Structure 1
Amino acid sequence: MGKTKENIFDVRLFVRLFKFMKPYKMVFSFVFIAVIFIAVLGVATPSLLQQAIDENLTTKTKEGFLFYILLMIGLLVLEFAVQLFFIFYSGWLGQTVVKDIRVKLFNHLLRFKMKYYDNSSVGVLITRAVTDMERIADVFSEGLFMIFRDLLTMVVVSGFMIYMSWQLSIIVFLMLPLVLYATLVFQKYMKKAFEEVRTEVSNLNSFVQERITGMKILQLFARETIEYDKFKAINQRHKKGWLKTIWYNSIFFPIAELSSSITIGLVVWYGGLHAVVDSVATQGVLFAFVMFIPKLFRPLRQIADKFNALQMGMVAANRVFRVLDTTSQIDDTGTLLANDFKGAITFDKVYFNYVEDETVLKGISFQVNAGETVAIVGSTGAGKSTIINLLNRFYEIQSGSITIDGVDIKDVTLSSLRTQIAVVLQDVFLFADTILNNITLNNPDITENEVVQAAKDIGIHDFIASLPNGYHYNVKERGIMLSSGQRQLISFLRAYVTNPSILVLDEATSSVDSYSEQLIQNATYKITKGRTSIVIAHRLATIKKADKIIVMDSGEIVEQGTHSELLKIENGYYRNLYEVQFLKDEVA
Structure 2
Amino acid sequence: MAETRKRQFKTVIRRYKDKLFIAVSDQQSLENKLRGLLLGVQYELTVLKDVDTQKIIKAMLSYVWPRDRPDLRARVAISLGFLGGAKAMNIVVPFMFKYAVDSLNQMSGNMLNLNGISRAGAAFFNEVRNAVFGKVAQNSIRRIAKNVFLHLHNLDLAFHLNRQTGALSKAIDRGTRGISFVLSALVFNLLPIMFEVTLVSGVLYYRCGAQFALVTLGTLGAYTAFTVAVTRWRTRFRIEMNKADNDAGNAAIDSLLNYETVKYFNNENYEAQRYDGFLKTYETASLKSTSTLAMLNFGQSAIFSVGLTAIMVLASQGIVTGTLTVGDLVMVNGLLFQLSLPLNFLGTVYRETRQALIDMNTLFTLLKVDTRIKDKAMASPLQITPQTATVAFDNVHFEYIEGQKVLSGISFEVPAGKKVAIVGGSGSGKSTIVRLLFRFYEPQKGNIYLAGQNIQDVSLESLRRAVGVVPQLQTLLSTVVDADEIIVLDQR
- TM-score, scaled to structure 1: 0.69
Q: Provide the rounded CA distance (Å) in 2 between the counterparts of 1:146 and 1:73.
A: 24
Alpha carbons of 1:209 and 1:69: their partners in 2 closer, same or farther (altered >3 Å)? same
String of CA shifts for 1:5-54, please: whole Å, max 9, x gaps: 999x9333322222222223322222222222222111111111111212
Matched, 1:153 2:193: no
- Aligned-residue offset at 1:329: 4.3
Partner letter of residue 227 of structure 1? E
Question: Equivalent of 2:77, from 29, 32, 48?
Answer: 29
Q: What residue number does 1:337 align with?
A: 382
Mapping of residues 233-382 of structure 1, within 5 Å: 233-276=277-320, 278-333=321-376, 334-338=379-383, 340-341=385-386, 342-382=388-428
Partner letter of residue 126 of structure 1? S
Q: Provide the rounded CA distance (Å) in 2 between the counterparts of 1:189 and 1:384.
A: 53
Partner letter of residue 307 of structure 2? T
Mapping of residues 467-486 of structure 1, within 5 Å: none
Q: What residue number does 1:501 align with?
A: none
Question: Equivalent of 1:141, from 184, 197, 201?
Answer: 184
The more displaced of 237-246 and 400-409 is: 237-246
Q: Provide the rounded CA distance (Å) in 2 between the counterparts of 1:109 and 1:320.
A: 11
Alpha carbons of 1:142 and 1:201: their partners in 2 closer, same or farther (altered >3 Å)? farther
Question: Equivalent of 1:423, from 464, 469, 476?
Answer: 469
Mapping of residues 424-439 of structure 1, within 5 Å: 424-439=470-485
Matched, 1:216 2:264: no
Q: What residue number does 1:194 align with?
A: 238
- Aligned-residue offset at 1:251: 0.8
Q: Provide the rounded CA distance (Å) in 2 between the counterparts of 1:6 and 1:160.
A: 44
- Aligned-residue offset at 1:284: 0.3
Q: Percent identity?
A: 22
CA contact (8 A) 2:172 2:362 kept: no
- Aligned-residue offset at 1:406: 1.1
Alpha carbons of 1:279 and 1:11: their partners in 2 closer, same or farther (altered >3 Å)? farther
CA contact (8 A) 1:128 1:319 kept: yes
Partner letter of residue 139 of structure 1? V
Q: Provide the rounded CA distance (Å) in 1 between the counterparts of 2:164 and 2:383.
A: 34
CA contact (8 A) 2:175 2:363 kept: yes
- Aligned-residue offset at 1:444: 5.5
Mapping of residues 111-126 of structure 1, within 5 Å: 111-126=154-169
Is the partner of 1:312 in helix, strand or coil? helix
Matched, 1:391 2:428: no
Segments ≥4 residues shifted beyond 4 Å: 442-445
- Aligned-residue offset at 1:376: 1.2
Alpha carbons of 1:216 and 1:247: their partners in 2 closer, same or farther (altered >3 Å)? same
CA contact (8 A) 2:100 2:109 kept: no
Is the partner of 1:422 in helix, strand or coil? coil
- Aligned-residue offset at 1:87: 2.4
- TM-score, scaled to structure 2: 0.82
Q: What residue number does 2:18 align with?
A: none
- Aligned-residue offset at 1:439: 2.7
Q: What residue number does 2:112 align with?
A: 69
CA contact (8 A) 1:218 1:224 kept: yes
Alpha carbons of 1:218 and 1:139: their partners in 2 closer, same or farther (altered >3 Å)? same
Alpha carbons of 1:248 and 1:326: their partners in 2 closer, same or farther (altered >3 Å)? same
Alpha carbons of 1:253 and 1:144: their partners in 2 closer, same or farther (altered >3 Å)? farther
Aligned residues: 435
- Aligned-residue offset at 1:231: 0.9
CA contact (8 A) 1:136 1:316 kept: no
User: Which structure has the larger Rg?
Assistant: 1
Q: Provide the rounded CA distance (Å) in 1 between the counterparts of 2:130 and 2:199.
A: 20
Alpha carbons of 1:339 and 1:51: their partners in 2 closer, same or farther (altered >3 Å)? farther
Q: Provide the rounded CA distance (Å) in 2 between the counterparts of 1:204 and 1:294.
A: 43
Q: Provide the rounded CA distance (Å) in 1 between the counterparts of 2:227 and 2:251.
A: 35
RMSD of the alignment, in Å? 2.4
Q: Provide the rounded CA distance (Å) in 1 between the counterparts of 2:186 and 2:245.
A: 21
Question: Equivalent of 1:203, from 223, 244, 247?
Answer: 247
Partner letter of residue 417 of structure 1? L
- Aligned-residue offset at 1:443: 4.3
Structure 1 portions without partners, runs of 5+: 446-497, 499-588
Query: Using CA pairs below 8 Å that are at least 6 residues apart, which structure has the higher relative contact order?
Result: 2
Alpha carbons of 1:84 and 1:438: their partners in 2 closer, same or farther (altered >3 Å)? same
CA contact (8 A) 1:91 1:140 kept: no
Is the partner of 1:379 in helix, strand or coil? coil
Partner letter of residue 379 of structure 1? G
Is the partner of 1:353 in helix, strand or coil? strand
CA contact (8 A) 2:392 2:411 kept: yes
Is the partner of 1:377 in helix, strand or coil? coil
The more displaced of 369-378 and 87-96 is: 87-96
Q: What residue number does 1:529 align with?
A: none
Q: What residue number does 1:92 align with?
A: 135
Alpha carbons of 1:378 and 1:169: their partners in 2 closer, same or farther (altered >3 Å)? same
Is the partner of 2:109 in helix, strand or coil? helix
Partner letter of residue 209 of structure 1? I
CA contact (8 A) 1:350 1:362 kept: yes
Structure 2 portions without partners, runs of 5+: 1-48, 67-71
Question: Equivalent of 2:86, from 7, 22, 38?
Answer: 38
- Aligned-residue offset at 1:407: 0.9
Partner letter of residue 101 of structure 2? I
Q: Provide the rounded CA distance (Å) in 2 between the counterparts of 1:6 and 1:176.
A: 33
The more displaced of 413-422 and 25-34 is: 25-34
String of CA shifts for 1:95-128, please: whole Å, max 9, x gaps: 2212111111112111111111012222233134
Is the partner of 1:424 in helix, strand or coil? coil
